Structure 1
Amino acid sequence: MASTASPKARAEGRADLGRPFHWLWASTAASNAGDGVTRTLLPLLVVAHHPDPAAVAGLTAVNMLPWLLLALPAGVLADRVDRRRLVLGSNAVRAAALAGAALALAQDRPLVLLYGLAFVLGVAETLADTAAPAMLPRLVDERHLERANGRLSAAQIVLGETAGPPVAGLLAGLAASVALATGGALYALAALLLLSLVPSPGSARAPQSGGARSAEARGERRGGVLKDIREGVGFVLRHRTLRLTLAASALYGLVFSATFSMLVLLSDRTLGLSGAGYGLLLAAGSLGAVAGSWLAPRAAGRLPTVRLARWSLAASGVAYVLLGAARDPLLAGLALAANGVFMMGWNIPVMSLRQRLTPENLQGRVMSVSRLCAWGTMPVGALLGGLLAGALSVPAVFVVCGAVLTAGALLLLAPLRDSPDGPGRSRPRPDPHDRPSDKE
């Protein structure tokens, strides 16, 4: 069927995202490659010298702890300072920490130093991953947010989740110090690339160049951190669209962590796959997500945003159900690939919608609330997945969680309606439940 989009709309869809975005993308790609290396390497170092399940679990807990402790303050900081400098500094800290670790851990690898490194990397990640998405509305036209978010997501999946882990394994086989130094070099490259990022005139919502704040804006934010946190959380709670989409994100975080924690058992016990087969299952999910990061922006140009997000999230739940019901590895791989597509069909439109609905002075705080809702629920979801598997079975975890996700997506997002102005980048209809912030 021929496209109904006008030539002007098609030209806008192909428009270049601009040099500032390309610098941000390159920096994000380098830091995601660093994430892929370090997240794989640190558990390998713990297992090699401290082969205790509690020690490995502790490493993960320490690395994720900053998201629970610092997510909301990180959002305040991202709204008070130049976000580009915040991301640049965070990458520089990670580079320095890994370079120091390559020297300090060359011989002995005490657990306390590995935990300390994991915590420092977690703090820097919390700051960088809060500030970087908040930069995007200043760098690209809001009509192209889906496409920009799609490209950033693709870089994260390919470099952070697909290429990074096997590279880390190969480097660790050579020397741990080489692997640590490689991760540090990637973060250093990410910091250097950001030095060239200067927003083009007219590319930002706000007039300040480079993310700098005016004296008036800085004056408005003189106050306590708790006051700023309350302002950001209050804006989300008063805004019906943000409130309901964040509730759906929290539900998805629970479901994702509950199912992912059991995926290795599903692969081994139910599907009878080897370690290599489990790796292929993960690769199928990653390939689906890469495809979804390409498809979602194009679907967003033709479908209303809320409708696309709602049905993608519901379809992701159906894919989990099919994964739990599958007994053939090929069908399981197809279900995981489909889930990857639908996951991007949810993440990219909703991320772009939040960026559009949030005033510039609240971008960091709304992003921090979003991260806290989505990632803060993951430890709880992993615990629930284990309890559910013990009470029922491993496949039942996927079936039950998928059904809950589908029902939750349809119920939570049912009150939201897109604007009748047309498909694609339409905003939700004005709602009496959406009360603007005093500073908007």
Structure 2
Amino acid sequence: MTDTARPGTGRARRADLGRPFRWLWASTAASNAGDGITRTLLPLLVVTHHPDPAAVAGLTTVNMLPWLLFALPAGVLVDRTDRRRIVLGSNVVRGAALLGAAVVLAGDRPLALLYALAFLLGIAETLADTAAPAMLPRLVDERQLERANGRLSAAQIVLNEMVGPPVAGLLAGLTAVAALAAGGALYAVAALLLLGLAPLAHPGRAVASDGRRGGVLRDVRAGLGFVLGHRTLRLTLAASALYGVVFSATFSMLVLLSDRALGLNGTGYGLLLAAGSLGAVAGSWLAPRAADRLPVVRLARWSLVASGAAYAALGLQRQPVLAALVLAANGVFMTGWNIPVMSLRQRLTPEHLQGRVMSVSRLCSWGSMPVGATLGGLLAEALSVPAVFTVCGTVLAVGALLLLAPLRHDPPAPAAQPVHSDLLDKG
């Protein structure tokens, strides 16, 4: 495909995404609201009953650990079984775990139980967040992937980042039991909504090159080999890992930048975060439309470069209003990278490898974040908090140009795979 916009995609993007996608979107929205509540509530419970910085940090580590331990095996499972069933089961487990925790933790709240809850939720999230994106190419036409991913991204940002946390705070102010029960109920609703989506035909058992089904390690190697052997996937995943480092390094220091450089209190810091989220919501609307007119690789590359420039500019700001505008612009650029690249990976990956490629993608993005947070702290100690943003932003902009320079054209997608025949009702 030449370096021009894909012909005829505008009409496809304006078409109805269909009833199956609406069921998936509704279920994802409910689970994202549950995520927003639980991710805010669990640290509050730890701080209230175990006010030790190490205990709070340990909760985050335990919650993220499943991504490092199980991401690649989760990709194999997603490619071997019904992806709808995996997402549904993950929501059932999360709902039952939180509803059970509302009873068990009504009195004492031992740290070990809170950690066990966080770890269980992390395992379920690893499975659900690997399976759900792998389902999407079977529910919508490949020309509508940016639009579908944009709608899912908007729901995640609004409900997970903007609505869920304040609701969790309000509920926790009444009683932690109510907050836990609300989170559990939302996951239960997410599972029920997914019942509206017809079961997907088996995606095709993971097979080795000789046609025989292999073990988990063999299937993991097959997925890694496909990613490493595909230049576009390999380079965009390297860029995602770099972005994960920069994002976590800067985000871990944002509260200090807000306090020391911008002179904001807690409310001001919350407004800064809200500005970034509003920009990301706008970007989730703009990115699919930009992808309709520009080559995807060009849009993704320059969005990543612009995000790096925004981080660097943020480190130079001393005016809160200008800092908020920069963060809002960066939210647009972040989704201008995430949505096209996610859609590109879905489009380039054969059906039977969708889960494994998605798991490698999440491992690169999420697995690099602890490294970034550590580097952010070291840079702040060695230089200053604003310098973390200018240095990391510059590295991201230059790294994006170098890593993605070889990708001058949108690569051709494999032979189109028809949407599942049981899901053709557009209702």
User: Could you tell me which amino acid in structure 2 is paired with residue 81 of structure 1?
Assistant: T
1:210 deviates by 1.2
Mapping of 1:193-204 within 5 angstroms? Answer: 193-198=193-198
Offset at residue 13 of structure 1 (A): 2.4
What is the CA–CA distance in structure 1 between the aligned matches of 2:305 and 2:68, rounded to whole Å? 27
Note if 1:303 corresponds to 2:294: yes
Check 1:247–1:307 CA distance in 2 against 1; reply closer, same or farther (3 A cut). same
Alignment pair present for 1:65 and 2:55: no
Unaligned runs of at least 5 residues, structure 1: 199-208, 419-426, 435-440
The answer on whether the counterparts of 2:279 and 2:329 sit within 8 Å (CA) in structure 1 is yes
Separation in 1, partners of 2:285, 2:62: 34
2:53 counterpart residue number: 53
Decide whether the 8 Å contact of 1:24 with 1:197 is kept in 2: yes
CA distance in 2, matches of 1:373, 1:287: 26
What is the CA-CA distance between 1:14 and the residue it aligns to? 1.2
User: Is 1:428 matched with 2:418?
Assistant: no
Provide the TM-score with structure 1 as the length reference.
0.90
Summarize the Cα distance change of 1:116–1:241 in structure 2 as closer, same or farther, 3 Å threshold.
Answer: same
- Contact conserved, 2:80 with 2:204, CA < 8 A, in 1? no
User: Which residue matches 2:34?
Assistant: 34
Show CA shifts across 1:2-34 (max 9, x none).
xx9999654322100000000000000000000
Task: Give % identity.
Answer: 80
The alpha carbon displacement at 1:392 in A equals: 0.1
CA distance, structure 2, for counterparts of residue 5 and residue 133 of structure 1: 24
- Listed as ranges, the matches of 1:7-22 within 5 Å are 10-22=10-22
Aligned length: 410
Give the alignment's Cα RMSD to 1 decimal: 2.0
Q: Deviations over 1:290-315 (max 9, x none)?
A: 00000000000000000000000000
Give unpaired runs (5+ residues) of structure 2: 415-427
The one-letter amino acid of 2:411's match is P
Q: Distance in 1 between matches of 2:356 and 2:10?
A: 34
Quickly say closer, same or farther: Cα 1:175–1:410, change in 2 above 3 A.
same
Taking structure 1 as reference, are residues 229 and 387 closer, same or farther at Cα in structure 2, changes over 3 Å only? Answer: same
The answer to whether the Cα contact below 8 Å between 1:66 and 1:122 also exists between their aligned partners in 2 is yes
Secondary structure at 2:200's aligned position in 1?
helix
Match of 2:251 in 1: 260
CA distance in 2, matches of 1:10, 1:119: 43
State the match for 1:328 in structure 2.
Answer: 319
* 1:109 alignment partner AA: R
| 1:262 counterpart SS class | helix
- Tell me the residue number matched to 2:272: 281
Q: Given that residues 284 and 337 in structure 1 are in contact (C-alpha distance below 8 angstroms), is that contact kept between their aligned partners in structure 2?
A: yes
What letter matches 2:371 in structure 1? V
Asked whether the 8 Å contact 2:308–2:394 carries over to 1, the reply is yes
1:89 and 1:156, CA in 2 relative to 1: closer, same or farther beyond 3 A? same
- Aligned counterpart, 1:395: 386
Partners of 1:91 and 1:358 lie apart in 2 by 26
Partner of 1:243: 234
Q: CA deviation at 1:283?
A: 0.1
The DSSP-based 3-state class of the residue aligned with 2:51 is coil
| Residue 260 to residue 356, structure 1, CA distance change in 2 (3 Å) | same
C-alpha distance after superposition, 1:360-395 (max 9, x if no partner): 000000000000000000001000000000000000
Q: Distance in 2 between matches of 1:7 and 1:65?
A: 43
TM-score (norm 2): 0.93
